[in-house]
C-alpha cells in the first residue's frame, strides 16, 4: 500500500510526520529516502514530536545514531556517511531496527539490503521551492 501527497510548506510536512509519530508503535522503522534538503530531518522531528519527545532533534550526521529515551524510545539514524551497506555490519544497528523502539533512518537507501524488509519507506522529492512530493510505502503484510 502506498500513499502519495504533496506538501506546500515545512509545517505541513511536520504536521503529517507528527501523525505518523502519534501512530507509531514498537519495532516500527521509518526509512527516509531523498536528496539533501528534501525534508528528512523535518519528518524525523515531526515523528519525534508525535511520539511525545520534546528534545531538540538534529541530524546525527557525524555520530550516525542519536538515541532519545522515551516510554517508546526513538533511534534516529543518519546514514549519509555510509558508502556501502557492508559498513553497517557489526555496528549492532540490527538490534535496534528489530527492537522495541521506533527507528527513523535518514538516507536509508545507503543501508541497501540491510534495511529491514518491513520498513515503512518514505520517499521525498522536490516539487518546487516550498513543495515536496512524499510517497509513503507501507510493507505488504
Ligand atoms: N514542503 C516542505 N517540506 C519540508 N521541508 C521543506 C518544505 N519546503 C521547504 N522546506 C525546507 O527544506 C529544508 C529541509 O531540510 P531538512 O529536513 O534538513 O532536509 P534533509 O534532512 O532531507 O537534508 C528545510 O530548510 C525546510 O524548511
Ligand atoms: Mg537531514
Give residue-wise pLDDT tens across range 9-47: 999 999 999 999 999 999 999 999 999 999 999 999 999
Give me the number of domains the chain comprises: 1
Q: Is 140 inside any structural domain?
A: no
Q: Is 49 inside any structural domain?
A: yes
pLDDT recorded at residue 60: 86
Q: Provide the mean pLDDT of the chain.
A: 96
Question: Looking at ligand 1, which residue's alpha carbon is closest to its atom 17?
Answer: 39
Over residues 83-110, mean pLDDT: 96
Q: Is 141 inside any structural domain?
A: no
Q: How much is the pTM?
A: 0.97
Expressed as residue numbers, the domain containing 12 is 2-135
CATH number at residue 48: 3.40.50.300
User: Does residue 89 surpass a pLDDT of 90?
Assistant: yes
Distance 67 CA to ligand 2 centre (A): 16
Ligand 1 atom closest to 127 (CA): 1
Residue 121: CB partners within 8 Å, gap ≥ 6? Answer: 31, 33, 108, 136, 137
Distance 37 CA to ligand 1 centre (A): 5
Amino acid at each position: 500500500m502506498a500513499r502519495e501527497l504533496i506538501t506546500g510548506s515545512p509545517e505541513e510536512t511536520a504536521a503529517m510526520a507528527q501523525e505518523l509519530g502519534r501512530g507509531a508503535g514498537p519495532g516500527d522503522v521509518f526509512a527516509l529516502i531523498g536528496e539533501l534538503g528534501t525534508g528528512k530531518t523535518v519528518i524525523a522531528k515531526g515523528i519525534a514530536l508525535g511520539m511525545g519527545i520534546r528534545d531538540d532533534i538534529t541530524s546525527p550526521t557525524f555520530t550516525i545514531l542519536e538515541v532519545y529515551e522515551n516510554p517508546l524510545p526513538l533511534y534516529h539514524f543518519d546514514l549519509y556517511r555510509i558508502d556501502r551497506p557492508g559498513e553497517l555490519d557489526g555496528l549492532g544497528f540490527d538490534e535496534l531496527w528489530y527492537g522495541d523502539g521506533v527507528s527513523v533512518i535518514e538516507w536509508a537507501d545507503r543501508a541497501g539490503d540491510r534495511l529491514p524488509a518491513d520498513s515503512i519507506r518514505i520517499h521525498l522529492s522536490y516539487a518546487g521551492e516550498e513543495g515536496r512530493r512524499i510517497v509513503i510505502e507501507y510493507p505488504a503484510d
